[in-house]
Structures are given as C-alpha cells and as structure tokens.
Structure 1
C-alpha cells in the first residue's frame, strides 16, 4: 500500500519520531489579528496572509517537521455564513495551503533541509457551530449530512496538494466514521490522521470508549496515524498508553499547554502549573508516541523543546 510522505519520513527517522508544529491561533491572537470567533485562525487569510506565512516559518525555525494548514475554521460553510461566496471560500482555502507550501520551500532552500510535510486541517462540525461543542460532542447530524458538510473542504484541500489530511479535535464517533468513509470512497489516494477530542484518558467526548474508536481506526487503510489533540497536556500520557493497547499504527499527540478552555464563556483560563513540553515529550516517546506537537496556547518555544528531545536540536 502506498504510504503518505509523512509515514515515509517517519519510517526514515532515527528515533521513529517527528516534530509537529504548535498553535496557529495563539500566535495570530497575540498579534491582534483575530477578532472574529467564527473565522478565528482563518481570518488572516482574508486580511493578513503574510502573518500566517510568518507563523509557519517560526515553527519551522523551532524544528517542526510537519505544518498544519490554517484551515481549521476554513470550511466553506464558515466563509459563506460570514458573507463570502463559494469561489472566495475555495480561494482562501487554496491560499492557506500555498502559504504553508511557500514557507516549507523557503525554509528548506535556505537551510538545505528536508521539506516539511503539509497536513490539511479539517475540523469537526462542532467547530463550525463556534459554541465549544468540539469539546463536548453535543451536536447531531446524519452520516449524509456530515459528509455533505465536509466534502467541499476535502475536495479543495486535495486539489491544493496537501500531503495528507489532519482530522483534528473530533469528539463524535459517528462523525469520524462518516468522514473516514468519505475519504475512502471519494479521496482514496489521500491518507489521514485522526486526532480525538477526549473526555478523559479512556473516552472521547461523546462517551464512546477510546478502545472502540481505535479498534475501528486500526482497520481503516486510509488512516495512518491515530492520536489526540486539544486536550490537557497532563492527560496525554494516559491517552497514549490507552491507544497503544489497541493499535500498532503511529500515534500523534498535540495537546494544549495546560490551560483550560471554559466553553460557557468562550475563554481560556490560565492554570498555575508547570507544562514543559520537552520533559513531557520524553515521557510520551517512552509511552509510544511518534509525532509530537502542540495545540492551543502552545508556542514556537514549546515546539523547540520538543525538537531538542526528538532531533537533538537546540534552538536559540
């Protein structure tokens, strides 16, 4: 079976481990470039695309092997719900991929390094609702409705040349199955990773056991990597160990920095806890993780600590 570029790179890596990038939205928010909750990290595609390019470069400089496109909130339905037409939506999605590719090519050329892998971000339907339900799974559509929602973004990401698909923060098992089936039936040349949104170390947010989800994903040929993202950094080790019981596929993890998101007020609550990504990366590698990065509230400095552990890189 044909492997994705990411799987090939992982197989060639000395430690069977690679570095994923960190939060895009955190950097853009810090620079005051996001004021739309609905568009979120895709907003600068409209008004400041260079900021996205610069964010990608910062993560490459920190040691990332993999970049995720800024399309988490870029489903065409999000754009059309905010006054854009379908052609504009597809143009912005394509631009997101181009920005990641341009950063990849520029960095690789200047540093004589292997080009980074580009993963096309796909968010759950709950992200479109902008009510925090990607952390609860409290929404419901039929299989056909889930597929109709995700198909346009999948089509444009595939057309734009991403190296694989990144299914991120998925809280519902029925939506995961609908999307995996869609990929296999209509985009069979694409491989994907599935990163779960979890309630705890053994359960995803809709109440389905991680065991049941992983057993299913383990049998799907288009799913190359299984893991979790956008959950507390302090929960990840247990999740890795739980996933590893049910699959030999590579595990990908990219948690938040330890702060907690309060969906009732739509804000992050800073936690007075130590969350050293470098120290955690050592533990996660020992537990069976293969690709490690960061999600919300993580920074290039966090990713540089992961790169130091995985590749021995010391980023000043």
Structure 2
C-alpha cells in the first residue's frame, strides 16, 4: 500500500467528518474522548460509517484528550489510556486500506485559556508521545488552532520527534485572515517552512468561506493543502431551542469540487458533518485530479486600508510629568440621578485629570456607565474614564461596547475581570467571563491596531489608553510583581490600585514597583464613620485598618463630626505618604459622599 504522502502526491484523499456530532446523536454528551474506554463500540461504529461512506482517512477520537481538558471530568490520569485506546479502535476498523491520523486539538480558542505556552507544549507532548508509542499511526493531525503562535510552537516541538507526516489545520474567525489580522497565506507558509507536510483549514467556517480563504493560498512545493469545513453556519431550532447545522450534504459535495479547484488534496468535514456529507464529497471528486497550477487572489493587507487616528495626550503622559488626580463615582442603583449629576459637576469644577465611573461594582446592578458618560459629556469638561468588566459582557458584547466607546470619544478605560455575581444583588445571575482582564487588555490593544478580535479590519484604529487594576492588600506583595509584569505584557498602560489603608503598604508598593515603567495611581478611599471602618476591617477580604486608627474612631464613634475628621486626617496622611513615591492619586468616593472627595482634592492641590 502506498504511504499517506504518496497518495496525496498523485491524487485527492477524502477524510472523515465530525465525531462529536454523531456521538451527540447517540445521546453521549459528556467527555467524548472517554468513550474510547467506556463506549468503544459507538466510536468504532462511527469510524466504520465514515469508511463505508468513502473516507480514505480517519482520525482518532482524541481531539480533547489532553490533561487540561480531561481534568474537567476527573480523567487527567488517563491521558495515555484514552489516547492509546483511540488509536487501537481506529486502526482495528481501518485495517491496512485506510489511513489513521492521530488527532490533537488546539488549546487557545475564542474562550479564555489560562495555561501558559510552556504548559500547553508540555501537555501536547504528553499526548503526542502517547499516540506515537502505539506505532499504529499514518500521521498526526493538529486541528482547530486559532492561535498561530501556539501551532508554530507545537510544530517546532513535535517535528523532531517523528518522521510521520504532520497535518496542521488553522481555524479562522474571518475568511482569509488569522485572528491576529494576517493573511492566511502567511501563516500557512510559515508552517510549511517549519516542516508541516500538509497545511490547511478546519472548523468555524463553512465551505463557502473556506473556498474564499483558499483563493489567496498558492500551491506549495513542499506541502499539500487540506480543508475540513463545518457543515454550515450554526442555526437554532425554534421548536426545541437547540443549535444545529444544516443538513446540506449535496451542497457540501458540490463545494468539494470548488475546493479541489483551489488546490485542496485532503478534504474532510468538521462540526455538523456526517457520513452523508463524506459520501457526497466522495461522489463529487470522483474522476478529479489535483490541480498543478493556480492563479492566486491576494488579500488586501489590513494595514492598506486602516485609517490611523491622532494620539492625543493621555493620563499616562500627564502623570509622568506632574501630580495627577482621578476621582471615582459609582453610578446610581436607581433612576434618580440628580445627586449623581451634582457630584459630577462639583468634581468637574476642581479641574482634575479624569472622573472614573465604575461598571456594576461588587456585582451590584447600577446604571450603565457608558450611558451616564454620554448623557453628561456635554455638560462637563473633565474626561470620563470608564471601567469595563468581563463579568457582564461576552466577547461579542465587549468588542461592541469598545467600538461604541471609541465612536463616542471615551478613550480612557480600566479593564477588569469583575467580582462574581454571587457577591451582588442578583446572585443567581450568570458571570460571563469569556475572558479575564488579561485577555481584555490584549483585545483593546488589538483594536488600537485596527483589528477586531476575529482579525477582521475595523477600517480605523481605536485610540484607547487602558489601565489595569491592582490589589496591593495581599500577604506577600513582593510576589505580586509577576502579576504586574503579566498585565504589562498584556498591554496595561498604567495601574489603578484598590484602596490602601496602611502607609506601610504604600511603602512596600513603591519598593516592589520601582522597576516598573508604567505609572501607578494609588487608591485612597475616605472612611465615612466607625461602622464603615469596622465593616471594611472585618468583612472585606484584603483590607486591614490599623488598630490605632480603629481605636481612635471607636473613642468618638457617636460623634459623627469627630469621626469624620479623624477619617479624613488618616486619608490625608496616606496621601502624603503616596506622594512621596507616586504622582498618581485615585480618589474613590464612598456612598456618593463627594464632599469627602472634594476636600481631599483641595488638600492634594494645595500641596502641588
């Protein structure tokens, strides 16, 4: 029998379709890879169905058989057993007439993945070695890689381990461009140069957009092209509210002819495809020969049609030159905004650098900060700095909100993960967390390059300056430097700290951050009274007030004016300490007591 690459050299091979789609049809909806051990007969039946439909190539049921994913099901210690069982099942059904590829799925996708690249490589290599040890494979298939950096690193690590053919399939969110906004041809060319024997696309897009994507890809001298489209775009069944793909096998088969015309030599199916789709592909390509020449249609680079915007002075520019104040207000929980407007206008008269509006702080429902800023922007001269939380917005909502902020001229942001909903007034609500603040920082920076998160062009760059939150109220502040460095690497332009109530913490923060170029705004929140102090000290994690300060408040706890004076004196003491080391002060207004914020602004400005 000819080898896998020998067959591709002279002809077109048909690959199999989706495994998960059919397992769902069998009613198996937990860990698909575990079925290699618990339901081997169903896995074997799916392999057999695809071979009977005309597949020359099948893949092992191991897409998610890495330690990280298996851990979700308590199966992380069965990595080797699950992968090797999958190879055995596929080879037993395939015999010697059908090729078997060992499948490895990418980690980084549209959703957040907190593993470092080093961890990803470690777990990928663990899976690869388990697959290779069977000595029953005809090649390896790396599929559904949205992140080109990840796939490049994986290929570089795996290529020296085996002489077996390697297939690398990238997934796109937009036709023709990777998620970093580059033409797909650049990524595929790089994979070819690193030793991939077959390069191509799979998942997310249906046949039409994959055909359009391949139009820009030439025929490579050293490698062949593969393509595994989804059956179609997802639709929702109105009767049972379930997502489903179109049952369009005939269309899928006709599309295969067009894929062959673009140079594809390995054609299979991804999500939503069934043996009917593969049968249609087999029927459609019968008698077709691989093309030898091709006219390429280049993609217009994003940079060629992105309009650049003028970068104006930012908070970062200002705070590097002089003492800079920003003041926070919480939007109201109700629709009576008279006092809120009064507070905004009073602070506006103080001529500070920015008024910052929180985004449903502590997971309590408040008026949308973007709406309030839009309502008031014509009435105040002080810029608004808007918080944006990952908790309340999925990726669609985050990018939509960011584009809206840019159009409205709100270009100062604080990117935060957000407190979980169980802390707030709707504890049963869902915390979205498609991403954390780290990935949100990167998304904002990508928009500043004129690219959406999917890699598509925005036709103009945004102009965001973005802050990251930092909590210095931890047991070992020195260890937090790694967290700061990660946020800087993600794109933080400056930092805003949680409120600090201990001058020693300010001293330690100054020492820890002395090598950090990004400015820090030190959070100062005045105490409103004895009860407020007791609550913060005993019930808010990470906040500790000094025993001396608490004793002073307790001694006059029934005298509101005396309590307030002691509290403000303490805030001024903290401001003095902060100004010894930092030029940025971040005043957090408690309970809309803007009178306290005004007094502290006056105090700071009197010292400048």
Q: What is the TM-score with the length of structure 1 in the denominator?
A: 0.81
Does residue 23 of structure 1 match 2:3? no
Q: How many equivalent residue pairs?
A: 281
Aligned with 1:155 (options 85, 110, 129): 129
8 Å CA contact 1:79, 1:85 repeated in 2: yes
Distance 1:89 1:79 in 2: 8
Does residue 228 of structure 1 match 2:201? yes
- Cα offset for 1:172? 0.5
Does residue 68 of structure 1 match 2:59? yes
Q: Which has the higher contact order (CA 8 A, sep 6+)?
A: 1
Q: 1:267 to 1:168 in 2, by over 3 A?
A: farther
SS at match of 1:295: coil
8 Å CA contact 2:58, 2:98 repeated in 1: yes
Q: 1:259 to 1:245 in 2, by over 3 A?
A: same
SS at match of 2:48: helix
8 Å CA contact 1:227, 1:243 repeated in 2: no
For the aligned residue pairs, the C-alpha RMSD in angstroms reads 2.6
Is the deviation greater in 272-281 or in 251-260?
272-281
- Cα offset for 1:248? 6.1
Does residue 95 of structure 1 match 2:85? yes
Does residue 116 of structure 1 match 2:108? no
Distance 1:27 1:258 in 2: 16
Aligned with 1:299 (options 255, 265, 274): 274
Structure 2 counterpart of 1:52: 43
SS at match of 2:120: helix
Distance 2:250 2:34 in 1: 29
- Cα offset for 1:80? 3.6
8 Å CA contact 1:80, 1:89 repeated in 2: no
Q: What do residues 13-45 of structure 1 show as CA deviations (whole Å, max 9, x unaligned)?
A: xxx2110001111111111122x2xx2x21322
8 Å CA contact 1:24, 1:55 repeated in 2: yes
SS at match of 1:257: coil
- Cα offset for 1:243? 2.3
8 Å CA contact 2:36, 2:89 repeated in 1: no
8 Å CA contact 1:214, 1:247 repeated in 2: no
Structure 2 counterpart of 1:197: 171
Q: 1:256 to 1:267 in 2, by over 3 A?
A: farther
8 Å CA contact 2:148, 2:170 repeated in 1: no
Q: What do residues 27-68 of structure 1 show as CA deviations (whole Å, max 9, x unaligned)?
A: 11111122x2xx2x2132232111000000000000000001
Q: What is the TM-score with the length of structure 2 in the denominator?
A: 0.43
8 Å CA contact 1:22, 1:294 repeated in 2: yes
- Cα offset for 1:273? 7.5
Q: 1:165 to 1:267 in 2, by over 3 A?
A: farther
Does residue 8 of structure 1 match 2:6? yes
- Cα offset for 1:120? 0.7
Structure 2 counterpart of 1:131: none
Distance 2:249 2:138 in 1: 34
Q: What do residues 124-181 of structure 1 show as CA deviations (whole Å, max 9, x unaligned)?
A: 113xxxxxxx2x3754654423211211101111112321110101000110111011
- Cα offset for 1:219? 0.8
- Cα offset for 1:240? 1.7
SS at match of 1:243: coil
- Cα offset for 1:10? 1.6
The unaligned stretches of length 5 or more in structure 1 are 109-114, 127-133
Distance 2:114 2:79 in 1: 25
SS at match of 1:67: strand
8 Å CA contact 2:57, 2:100 repeated in 1: yes
- Cα offset for 1:269? 4.9
Instruction: Determine which structure has more spread, i.e. the larger CA radius of gyration.
Output: 2
- Cα offset for 1:216? 0.7
Distance 1:227 1:98 in 2: 27
- Cα offset for 1:272? 9.1
Does residue 33 of structure 1 match 2:28? yes
- Cα offset for 1:82? 2.0
